[in-house]
Amino acid sequence: MAGLAALSALGCAGGSSVVTVPAPVMESVPSEIATPADRTAVTPADPALPPRIAMFAGLMPLRTIGVDAFRVAAPEYDGRGVLIAILDSGVDPSLPGLRSTTTTERKLLDIRDFSGEGRIALQPVRPGADGTVRIGEHVAHGFGRVAGIASSPYYGGVFHEVTLGAPPAADVNRSGTITDAFLVVVARASDAWVAIVDTDGDRSLEDERPIRDYGIAGDVFTFRDDGGQPGPIAVAVNLSEAEGRPVLDLVLDNSSHGSHVAGIAAGHDLFGVEGFHGVAPGAQLLALKIANNTRGGISVTGSMLSAMQYAADYAARRSMPLIVNLSYGVGNEVEGGAAIDSLIDAYALQHPNVLVVISAGNDGPGVSTVGLPGSAEHALTVCALFPGAFIQAPQPGTPPAADVMGWWSARGGEVAKPDVCAPGVAYSNVPEWRTGEEISGGTSMAAPVIAGAAALLQSAMLQSGGAVRAIDLKRSLMATATPMGGTTVLDEGAGVPNVGDALRWLRAAHQTGIYRVRALTSEGTAAPTSAAYRRGGLASPADTIQEFVVSSAEGQPAARLLLEPDVPWLRAPALIEPGGEATTIRLTYDAGALTEPGLYVGTVWARPASDTISGPSFGLTNTVVVPQSLDTAFGAQGLLTPGATARYFLQVPAAAGGLEVVIDLGERGGEATLYLFEPSGQPYRGGNSAAAGGTKPSRAAVTVMADEVVPGVYEAVVVAPPTKAVSYRFTASVPSVRVETVAVGPVAVVENLTDVPQRVAISAVVLGGVRFDDVRGDERGDPTSIEVTVPEWATSMTLDASLPRDLWQSLTDFGVTVFDSLGRKISDSPLNYAFGRHRIVLDTADRGATLRVELFPAFARGDAARSWSASLRTEFLAEAAIELPLVGDTVASKRYLTARERLRVPISPPDMPLLPIGYDYLIEVVATPETGPASVRRAAVEP
């Protein structure tokens, strides 16, 4: 799911009899089938395994980047004196690992909500002589408690559980429902605004204590059940003032994502277990909530930038070095062209001592999938490894299993990202209500490893002479990184860093410059990318020139740089001297070496001539994809080592009637997963993965329907499991026929795409109904809702939402949330690209009801919200498809098509219950030739 999604296990990946590890999931992509949110309380689970066992098993994976050895050698360089800002879903301040640092200082210095999710609407209230006060429709008793603490004017409001979405997080008092309401009174005490919350819901304030802003007093509370027992979620309060009136936000982590990330970055004595630490246990934290978890963990307009600026101002006031961790990402429509990218780059240049660490995204293993804002050039972007500790439990006398590349981790292409890799699965903090899900995976878990590592380095430098610039931290980690075998810079960037080596690099005072790299298009204009990318191969044999423009930061002296290509097909000048002015560098490709289908990646590394051992100052990365023609079916065989990938790029013509890619493990056994990516790099919208072997059949396929074919170069990727090698056969083909149209009548047009006659079996069914809505938002960028009537016969619904691509580039998120008639959330499915699809299994109570679909844009700039538009397609599927006979049907519905013939095939009208007004029938037509895959088209047909 988009944004700061809470990770849930979709399956299990290799482990031992001791440890079973949930597979990392793609937190930026909606699940293919989402069950309705449970609208009653959920019984808490047991921990995934005891924390002490997790510690000794190495499930907080510190060894990979040398953190364990570093902290043993220099325990005082544990992050103390450094501030890490966690921009996320919120952080639960009650967790044992987030209470103090190694030097007994407060771990969480401040908790702020920039999402607006916990905003309580306040209105002036006046107490009665009997000690009661009316707040909306409710009456609170015991107002004397408030009057004894604070003076008038008084303000009242109501917090409703249902606004938090679904249980268990929304059931804040563990009552078994999410319909409870809690009264709040706000007034000014002698020192600050205070909130008095009816935490037990008994409509009395007599037994409640005043709560001050967390930044002032560190106050935290929990709601309580009828017996006075605390609920499962800790709440902090933000109290500010606007135009003389109080503004109240309740801040809580109702996702668990932020708490998990914070524990990895800087947890100290996690779960109360002495010595169980995150990467930088001495560092202090800012918990800055930018995500509206009720809407699927989406950022909101301006929240990201506002939180970053707050962190910079806070650190400056305290004179503390700052690391910003942003475990967040959605898909790039145009890599490097998003508004938030340029805003983060500007922020980094404005605050040169603040390192911004961002997760690369989880849309891998396809190339050109790095998400925004991880594509920001001046951020440190982190890809993910699958740690060996989760592959095999430690055994006495046996070396630990090696880490492998995370199959889910996003890859570069149009941008020169990621920068470095780190372990992307960990056992860490979760709020009490999330017990049992302490193990989570994704690049969200890799980013805080590197943020913590940067805090260790900054702490060491701070204690031995003074803090260093962000670019120094970034370069130290990249320059000392070790590449993994069998990968390219698109997969891993510089590789896997080592903290000890990075500190030695910093102490050597190597030269470090800040450079901006831009590739030029063939027309000679600057493209908004930091790398050269030709997905369709060279345009012609003469297409051998690629130019880059390199400029250095303002005020930076010119430096002589040596250029060195790392592949033989790439040539570059030997020396450049970029200064403040832009310098154009011309590279030459050897076209003769780029003819066989496949992926070609080469980088020209620029090193300071006066300090060649310092590592590259930057790289000029070039990617050329030579696709495989599908004029005839393509097949290949391969053998993959554990965790390895094989890529196939497939040229799909505009007139294709579909695409089918298949892996077959035959009788050899083993397991593998097949992924498919559209020409833009986006995971195939119809479901981009299929697993083979293990408990599943040995053959797996991903099929693209005719109505969803995107002309261009698709990428299919075969991935071996992290535990064992696998041999496979891969095939790809397009149908020899095409269902061209399905129109009113109903009637289908089927075309023979070959020069030979063939017999084709044709069938048609009605699947259900479909409606279309064009939604327009106002200039404030506020959420907009439409109402959708569910047919009585519908068992599931599919939402397709589409935005203009240029609008997507100005956003950081776009939420799509479905509520039932009582206002309870059924599902959330933020978009991960300008097109997104979400399937929902409907509860029986929803059939025949009216649902509300809310569309919620989040603009990168808080002051730049503007009018917006979206297209929404809503499909409702019946439990079983209804066959539609063909008019003039012949035996087995077969038709004889001559070479290149387009045949018009009338279909009998649907015979099913009437559709609601405004709905069309959803009809599917399948044309199956005697050999090869079928062509399938779904279309809306008017009744």
- 497 is written with which tokens? 């860093």
pLDDT given at position 523: 58
Instruction: Give the separation between CA 495 and CA 483, rounded to whole angstroms.
Output: 4
Instruction: Tell me, letter by letter, the H, E, C secondary structure of 184-203.
Output: EEEEECCCCEEEEECCCCCC
Among candidates 840, 817, 681, 818, which has minimal Cα distance to 298?
817
Number of neighbours of residue 854 by Cβ within 10 angstroms: 16
pLDDT in tens, 352-409: 999 999 999 999 999 999 999 999 999 999 999 999 999 987 777 778 889 999 999 9
Give the SS3 label for residue 10.
Answer: coil
pLDDT in tens, 461-502: 999 989 999 999 999 999 999 999 889 999 999 999 999 999
CB 435 within 8 A of CB 410: no
Ranking 278-287, 504-513, 731-740 by mean pLDDT, the lowest is 504-513
Average pLDDT over residues 926-942: 96
Average pLDDT over residues 3-10: 30
Average pLDDT over residues 162-177: 92
pLDDT in tens, 527-564: 678 999 999 999 888 899 999 999 887 767 778 899 99
pLDDT in tens, 853-890: 999 999 999 887 788 999 999 999 999 999 999 987 65
- Residue 61 preceded by cis peptide, ω within 30: no
Long-range contacts for 568-573 (Cβ within 8 Å, ≥24 apart)? Answer: 568/593, 569/593, 569/594, 569/600, 569/602, 570/602, 570/603, 570/604, 570/622, 572/604, 572/620
Of 185-194, 486-495, 772-781, which one has max mean pLDDT?
Answer: 486-495
Among candidates 742, 820, 799, 790, which has minimal Cα distance to 913?
790
Ranking 267-276, 332-341, 547-556, 702-711 by mean pLDDT, the lowest is 547-556
CB 407 within 8 A of CB 375: no
pLDDT band at 29 (very low <50, low <70, confident <90, very high): very low
**pTM listed for this prediction:** 0.94
Instruction: Give the separation between CA 7 and CA 916, rounded to whole angstroms.
Output: 37
CA 650 to each of CA 210, 287, 653, 665: distance values in angstroms, whole numbers, following the listed order: 64, 45, 10, 21
pLDDT given at position 279: 98
Instruction: Give the separation between CA 496 and CA 566, rounded to whole angstroms.
Output: 19
Listing from the earlier edge strand, what are the strands of the sheet with 575-576? Answer: 532-534, 618-626, 598-608, 561-565, 575-576
Average pLDDT over residues 308-326: 98
Sequence letter at residue 321: P
- Specify the residue for token string 């709560």: 211
**CA-only gyration radius of the chain, Å:** 29
CB 466 within 8 A of CB 291: no
pLDDT in tens, 414-425: 999 999 999 999
Q: Which residues pair with 154 in a beta bridge?
A: 125
Q: Is the pLDDT of residue 751 over 50?
A: yes
Work out the mean pLDDT of the chain and round it to a whole number: 91
Among candidates 690, 754, 739, which has minimal Cα distance to 904?
739
- 202 is written with which tokens? 């008994």
pLDDT band at 429 (very low <50, low <70, confident <90, very high): very high
Instruction: Go through the chain and tell me how many residues it has.
Output: 943
Q: Is the pLDDT of residue 23 over 50?
A: no
pLDDT given at position 580: 66
Instruction: Give the separation between CA 502 and CA 498, rounded to whole angstroms.
Output: 6
| φ and ψ of 277, to 5 deg | -120, 160
State percent of the chain over pLDDT 70: 93
pLDDT given at position 526: 57
**Higher per-residue pLDDT: 446 or 191:** 446
Ranking 187-201, 217-231, 541-555, 888-902 by mean pLDDT, the lowest is 888-902
Average pLDDT over residues 338-365: 97
Sequence letter at residue 27: E
CA 118 to each of CA 154, 170, 215, 235, 252: distance values in angstroms, whole numbers, following the listed order: 20, 12, 16, 10, 8
Instruction: Give the separation between CA 848 and CA 841, rounded to whole angstroms.
Output: 14
Q: Is the pLDDT of residue 341 over 90?
A: yes
CA 166 to each of CA 170, 200, 435, 692, 823: distance values in angstroms, whole numbers, following the listed order: 5, 20, 16, 34, 11
pLDDT in tens, 562-598: 999 999 999 999 999 876 678 999 999 999 999 999 9
CB-count exposure of residue 654 (10 Å: 0-12, 13-18, 19+): exposed
State percent of the chain over pLDDT 90: 80
